[in-house]
Structure formats: structure tokens, C-alpha cells
Structure 1
Amino acid sequence: MKTITIEGQLRTESGKKATRQIRSQGNVPGVIYGGEKEINFYASAKAFKPLVYTGEFQKAEVKIDGKTYPAILKDLQFDRVTDTLTHIDLLELVEGKKVIATIPVKLTGNSAGVKAGGKLITKLKSLKVKALPKDLKEFIEVDITNLELNGNIRVEDVQEPALEIMNSKRIPIASIVMTRQLRQEEAAADKKK
């Protein structure tokens, strides 16, 4: 799994004035939860870019005062007007303690339904999972090779024993629908009979 290293500084002051000053210097305040204690820190906005502006699931190693905290992204806050990052929440990965994470779904294979003229519709781009830090992965692979026309692959079809999937089991991840052209061809074939 991809890991991004972020050099951070411990925040000594809190409050609006101190936070405004941190932001005015091109930094973003943040918090690391889930460990022994909550850690308030800040780092340059540039350091967070590879973690924030990506569709991938990745770990962050935040280095503060010589200590390294392995973490995952938990929450982001952006400015309403300028759309710049104003605050970041990270969840510390503690060995043996399960965490909740949102992992992207990667569809693989060529569907039989698409080969028959259907159209692939992706309905769920990520899954919410509960897992130990060692079991977290970049993406969850879902094979759609056997997906037929008008068929669905649901959350219950995902085989990941190390991950506890928290989404509802009946929600479709992907489906193959008939295209308009295919429906017209079928209707024309029925009229000829």
C-alpha cells in the first residue's frame, strides 16, 4: 500500500487566532485521533496534497518531533469560498485495534453481459470496512467476468475474509443494463415472430 510521509509540527496554541496564523503561513492544522492521546499538529498544505487529492486509499506517516504516527485519512474540511483545505483529521493505526475505513472498489475482467451488448453501470465506487491495520489494502478487487446481461454484483458477493464490510449486503456494486439499441433489436425480433 502506498504511504505518504508528512513532516508536521506540534501545535502549542489553540483557538481561532492561533489557527488563523497557521493558515496564513500556508499550513493546515490537523488532529490525529485513535491512539493513546489526541495529537494536534500542523503541516504545509503542499504536504497533504498527495493524500487528499487522490482517489486511492493510502496510509500517511506523520512525523512530529521525532515520532512517527501511522494514520489514515478520516475527515477533511475545505473553505467554502476558496475551496482550500482548512483542516484535516487523521485516524492513528494502532496494531491489534480495528479501524473503520473507506476503500475504493476496482472492477476487473470483461463482463459477459457487456460482450452481449449491455452497458456496465458502476453503482458503488467504495466500500466501508472494519479491519485491523495490517489487513487494510489499496482497493478491493471485484471480478465481473461472469456478470450477465441484466445482472448485478452485490456487496454480499465480495469475498474478503480479512475485512468486515459494513455496507448493506443487498446494495449492488455494478450491474449490466440493456442498451436502447439492444432493446430495439429485441422488440423488432419479437414483432417478426
Structure 2
Amino acid sequence: MSITVNAILREDQGKGASRRLRKKEMVPSIIYGGKKEPIMISLNIHEITHLLEDEHTFTSVLDLMVDKLEESVVLKDVQRHPAKNTINHVDFLRVDAKQALVTNTPLHFVGMEENEALRLGNMLNQFVVSVEISCLPKDLPNGINVDVTNLALGEHISLTNLIMPEGVIMTALQHDDIEAHDQTICSVSEPKVIEEEEEIIDTDESEAEGGEDQSEDSGDSKDGDAEEE
């Protein structure tokens, strides 16, 4: 599936220019990487917002159309307004069909509905939700499946258990000491039970203390009245 992003060149730079663009419902953006110079562009806020609602936009090689020029890029960074959550800036990285690119791809946990341990009320703990991979642009996956269908209570899946698509390498496992860089992706455990400690009140002691307090209070009250007189 091909995803096309439309853009136009922009010449003005700086905070003031960016503010003016946003008032026109445009998003300041940039294309960089490769042997070419960076290109300053702007995107339609409604179009890019709609595209970013699809996870494939984050995990695909995009056809970026700048006027009549086409660039093959991947989405590198999205900056959002801290309060409004609107898109403030987008970075695109050029890709070369002959050179491997390094990027993050999401993990898709499949088989949860068929897992017997989960159907009995146990929990699937997800510790890793994405991994860094290296591959040629043509081999870029939309995600890595983690099959938990047969994962039993007390068992876990680690990075070394993942089955990578052909041509895709997980960068974390390219070190000499693989065990040191391996980590648990998910596990099945019993649900946590929050125990509430009930405070046991001794009624007799409570009443006794209450009586003493009352007598002391009455004595103090009398002394106070005497002093006031």
C-alpha cells in the first residue's frame, strides 16, 4: 500500500514564519538525510492529521510530493503542542532503496483472545511495545507480531524469541553479548489483588477512653470557669 504526503516548498524560516503558517492551518516541516540538502516544506494540517491516525504512516516508506518532485521518505519525528496536542512540526528522513535504514517498529501482540491463561482471568504484562530494526526500505515491516496464544501462566517471551521477517535485523541483538541485551517483552501473571486492612476497634476500650476524656474535659471546664470568675 502506497501512502502519499503532499507538501509545498517554504522559504520563510523562524518562529514568526512558523506561527504565520500555523494560522493558515499549515504545518512547518523538513526533509533531510542522504546527500541532498535539507528542504523546508509545509503540510496541510488536516491532511497530515488524518494520515497520522493510521499506524502504517509511521511504519511505511512514504511518497512525499513536493510540488512535482517526489521523495521517498520515512517519518522521523512528530512534534505536538503540549496542551492542545495539535501537530507543530514534522521531520521526514530521505531513504535510499540500496541502503539499510534504522527505525523503530511496533510490536503487535496476537493470540490474546485464544490464550487459555488470559481467558481464566490472568494478566498479560507488556514490557516492550516497539523495537529498533535495520533493513532495506523494501523490507520495512508494518510491525512485528508477538504470538502469545500458547503463553502459559508464569511464562514469558523475550527479544530472542521473536521471529523477524526476512531481511529485517533487530539492532539490540547485534552485540557480541546477546544475553546482556536481551530483555523480556511480555509475561503472563496472576491478577494483583489489593488487600484492604480493616482496623479492628475495641469497643470497650474506646468507650473507656471516651469516658476518661469526658471526665477530664469536665474537670478542666470547671477549673476554667473558676478562673474566669
For residues 136-182 of structure 1, give each alpha carbon's deviation from its aligned partner in whole angstroms, at most 9, with x where no partner exists. 0111112223322111111111121522213474222221112358x
- C-alpha distance in structure 2 between counterparts of 1:36 and 1:46, whole Å: 31
The Cα of 1:13 is off from its aligned counterpart by 2.4
State the TM-score, normalizing by the size of structure 2.
Answer: 0.70
**Structure 1: runs of 5+ lacking an equivalent:** 182-193
Structure 2 counterpart of 1:66:
68
Alignment-mate amino acid for residue 137 of structure 1: P
- C-alpha distance in structure 1 between counterparts of 2:192 and 2:99, whole Å: 50
Structure 1 counterpart of 2:18:
19
> Which of 136, 149, 170 is the equivalent residue of 1:165?
170
Deviates more, 1:90-99 or 1:53-62: 53-62
Greater RCO (Cα-Cα under 8 Å, separation 6 or more): 1
> Which of 106, 109, 114 is the equivalent residue of 1:107?
109
Alignment CA distance shift 1:42-1:114 (3 Å): same
The Cα of 1:18 is off from its aligned counterpart by 2.2
State the TM-score, normalizing by the size of structure 1.
Answer: 0.81
Structure 2 counterpart of 1:141:
145
- C-alpha distance in structure 1 between counterparts of 2:40 and 2:72, whole Å: 15
Matched, 1:95 2:81: no
The Cα of 1:70 is off from its aligned counterpart by 1.8
Where does structure 1 differ by over 6 angstroms across 4 or more consecutive aligned residues?
A: none
Alignment-mate amino acid for residue 150 of structure 2: N
- C-alpha distance in structure 1 between counterparts of 2:50 and 2:170, whole Å: 26
Output the aligned Cα RMSD.
2.2
Whichever structure has more helix as a proportion of its residues is: 2
Matched, 1:156 2:122: no
**Structure 2: runs of 5+ lacking an equivalent:** 174-180, 194-229
Structure 2 counterpart of 1:185:
none
- C-alpha distance in structure 1 between counterparts of 2:142 and 2:157, whole Å: 20
Secondary structure, counterpart of 2:3 in structure 1: strand
Alignment CA distance shift 1:64-1:98 (3 Å): same
Alignment-mate amino acid for residue 164 of structure 1: I
For residues 117-142 of structure 1, give each alpha carbon's deviation from its aligned partner in whole angstroms, at most 9, with x where no partner exists. 53222222221112110110111112
